Structure 1
Amino acid sequence: MSLKSALLRGAAVLTAAGALAGLAAAPAAAKSHHHEPLVIAHRGASGYMPEHTLEAYALAVELGADVIEPDLVLTKDGELLARHEPVLDETTDVAAHPEFADRKTTKLIDGKPVTGFFADDFTLAELKTLRAEERLPALRPDSAAYDGRFELVTYDEVLDYVDTLDRKVITYPEMKHPSYYEDKGMSIEDALADLLEERNLDRKRSPVWIQSFEYQSLLNIDERVDNPIGLNIDGQGAIPDATLDEYAETLDTVSLNKNRIFPRAADGSISEPTDIVERAHDRGLDVHVWTFRAENNFLPTNLREGSDPAAWGDIEAEFELFYDLGVDAVFSDFPDLAVAARDC
């Protein structure tokens, strides 16, 4: 029996068990989840171009992504910048700008000291003089070839770009480290809510979803806007029913690390899935999953091909495992591969 067949046989057993449980006690919040899963371009088409650039987002749309995901940080003057972290060192050429050498400092993020150049120490005008760089050059040399070519962009500019498209594309901003800004007397929630209100995008059916790793941050912004909100949950291990019940009362989506659904063994391989997708769906929650990357370095050991960490493994099989479980959306650095696996 193939790996996929074995895993899906386990999934079928769990699905059947979940269906029986649902018949016994289906909550009122439950809704249908039989739609086609959406493809979320993780930081744009970040497997091909430096992440969080307008060019990476545009390529993602060209490759068929349904959703593009800008991570958001705050600038010194309160603008929402599309960057994965407040620290700029890994994804920009800031270190090559001697005029900013004195901005390097150490700050606490999530209680841990981090040394580098922080976006909130720069005005947007200053940040516009920087250029994006590939975060994983050893694994993605083709993307690194674009280093120095693309400027940094704001979420407002991303929304301007989306407005020019001839099809609906959802943006899925993630508020990065809200507590970090709160400690500085800044509010990333208010900055995002203000922008959405100004653009009349603060409604339930607006093509904007909001996400964060901080639950309280989502509750805070939910007091100001009506957009769908989703909690990002890292790691692996079971999520208790009582916790899911609370999320179902307050959230629209749980956005899970892949290991929450297909746990990895000590050797890095995956085996049978958990029942988290069924239990979340039973409570009316959508399930999004992250992050799908083609390189062996990121794949389970039993889906890798060869020993080169930068070579592509059997990502199609990985997509199929999750699609067959009925997840609602997947985050991928390679949106074209996610679309191809879904539509084949």
Structure 2
Amino acid sequence: MEPGARPRPLVIGHRGAPGYRPEHSRSGYELAFALGADSVEPDVVASKDGVLVIRHENEISGTTDVASRAEFAHLRTTKTIDGDEHTGWFTEDFTWQELSTLTVRERLPSIRPSSASFDGKQGILRLRDLAEIVDAAAEQQGRSLGMTVEIKHATYFEGVGLPLDELVAAELRDTGWGSGRPLIVESFEKTVLAGVRARGIGAEVVYLVERSGAAADLVARDGSAAVTYEQELSDGGLDTLVGLVDGVSADKALVLSLDDDGVASGASDLVDRLHARGLTAYAWTLRPENRFLTTGFRRGPTDSFGDWQSEFDVILRTGIDGVFLDHPDLGVSARDALADRR
């Protein structure tokens, strides 16, 4: 590898290292880099006063202690977010000062009890806090480390007066991440990506896609006539993405070739079709537990590790540019094993 070049595929710590620590926690991010991650992925939502908060969703009852906090009981409510109804506590109803009093907890305690043992020990992070963590880890390790910032529910937040493209662009500039840094900005909505790019942020812009459904911004605009993710991943659909985004990040099932029973027979041609158009290709989320592995790679009890090595290997051998993992060390191991065979 040439000096200064980043490894391929990138190993991206999905929400930090949630296989070992509660997602989006300080110790999870620090551990991700200690385990060899090249980048980490914060999910970004906003507080009532416009502070960018790192949570997977704006509804936070599953990943914080908010439900046990009597002083916030009156904020429990029901909202419709991107067409789905949710009941709980939402970041946009709290000031940052209020959110900063909460502690984080493991989302999947029955699957990851070791991670759950860290519940209640750490607070919520802001995007600017993570920027400092990444900078400190890069200096300590003497290597280039990145952020892969996912903007969540942008159309919804725009509708409540919190434009995430403006807020994210301002925060990235303010923290020194506005240009010249190993930065990826991604979203399931192209509108917010265009907004970030229009504000001069120097980042690789990546469009997230799912196996089914359609993007929330397109549904808000076009209703039932909205172009689906499946249509956007057709050859014609990919052609329209060229120039709008730099890459596509897909559910790992789209990178695999699955039969009617969901068994993988190898890789699909998605990565090749993206690369043929000059677009980078990413896959999410690689996890070793059987309940998350593709049928055919599962071995033993649901919550134990299955044949993750084989599934990871099929995906990495496509020539993919980066993968998101809950256990970054397993991604490094799979990448090293593939390099040893070449």
Normalised-by-shorter TM-score class: 0.7 to 0.9
Identify the residue that residue 318 of structure 1 maps to in structure 2: 311
Q: What does residue 197 of structure 1 align with?
A: 173
Greater RCO between the two (CA within 8 Å, min separation 6)?
A: 1
Assess if the C-alpha contact under 8 Å between 2:10 and 2:38 holds in 1: yes
CA distance in 2, matches of 1:35, 1:127: 36
Structure-1 separation of matches of 2:7 and 2:72: 49
Distance 2:176 2:126 in 1: 18
After superposition, what is the alpha-carbon deviation per residue over 1:155-204, rounded to whole angstroms, capped at 9, x for unaligned?
1000011121222210011000001101112111111000112233222x
2-side partners of 1:117 and 1:264: how far apart? 38
* Residue equivalent to 2:86: 114
Q: Secondary structure at the match of 1:88?
A: coil
Where does residue 217 of structure 1 map in the other structure?
192
RMSD: 1.5
What SS does the corresponding residue of 2:296 show, helix, strand or coil? helix
Report SS of the residue matched to 2:275.
helix
Q: Where do 1:23-34 residues align within 5 Å?
A: none
Which residue does the alignment assign to 2:324?
A: 331
Deviations 1:30-73 (A, max 9, x none): xxxx9621100000001111000111000000000001000001
Provide structure 1 residue ranges, at least 5 long, that are not aligned to the other structure.
Answer: 1-33
Q: Secondary structure at the match of 2:80?
A: strand
Seen in structure 2, the aligned counterparts of structure 1 residues 181 and 96 have a Cα distance that, compared at 3 Å, is same
CA displacement at 1:284 relative to structure 2 = 0.6
**Which segment drifts farther, 158-167 or 318-327?**
158-167
Cα shift readout 1:131-164 (whole Å, capped 9, x = no counterpart): 1110011111111111111111101000011121
Distance 1:170 1:190 in 2: 21
Checking the alignment, whether the CA contact within 8 Å between 2:54 and 2:125 is kept in structure 1 is yes
Equivalent in the alignment of 1:245: 239
| 1:251 to partner: Cα distance | 0.9
Map 1:94-109; keep pairs closer than 5 Å.
Answer: 94-109=66-81
Amino acid at match of 1:190: E
Corresponding position of 1:270: 264
SS at match of 2:123: coil
Give the 5 Å matches for 1:117-128. Answer: 117-128=89-100
Check the 8 A contact 1:35/1:328 in 2, yes or no.
no
| In structure 2, C-alpha distance between the alignment counterparts of 1:171 and 1:157, rounded to whole Å | 12
1:289 correspondence with 2:283:
yes
1:343 maps to 2:336: yes
> What secondary structure does 2:60 align onto?
coil
CA apart distance, 1:261: 1.4
Percent identity over the alignment is 40
Q: In 2, Cα distance between the equivalents of 1:40 and 1:173?
A: 11
Contact 2:48 2:96 in 1 (8 A): yes
Partner in structure 2 of residue 228 of structure 1: 204
Task: Give 3-state SS (helix, strand or coil) of 2:241's partner.
Answer: helix
| 2:151 is the alignment partner of 1:175 | yes
Counterparts of 1:113 and 1:322, CA distance in 2: 34
Q: Indicate the residue corresponding to 2:3 in structure 1.
A: none
Q: 1:247 to 1:35 in 2, by over 3 A?
A: farther
- Aligned counterparts, 1:73-88, within 5 A: 73-88=45-60
Q: Give the counterpart letter for 1:332 in structure 2.
A: L
Secondary structure in 1 matching 2:264? coil
Matched residue, 1:29? none
Q: State the partner residue of 2:13.
A: 41
Q: Which amino acid aligns with 2:118?
A: Y
Q: Runs of 5+ in structure 2 lacking a partner?
A: 1-5, 213-229, 338-342
Report how far residue 272 of structure 1 moved.
Answer: 3.4
Provide the C-alpha distance between the structure 1 equivalents of 2:255 and 2:165, rounded to a whole number of angstroms: 29
Q: TM-score, normalised by structure 2?
A: 0.87
Residues of 1 paired with 2:302 and 2:208: CA distance?
A: 27
Q: Deviations over 1:291-329 (max 9, x none)?
A: 0011100001211111x2110011111111111110000
In structure 2, what is the Cα distance between the partners aligned to 1:335 and 1:147?
21
SS in 2 for 1:92: coil
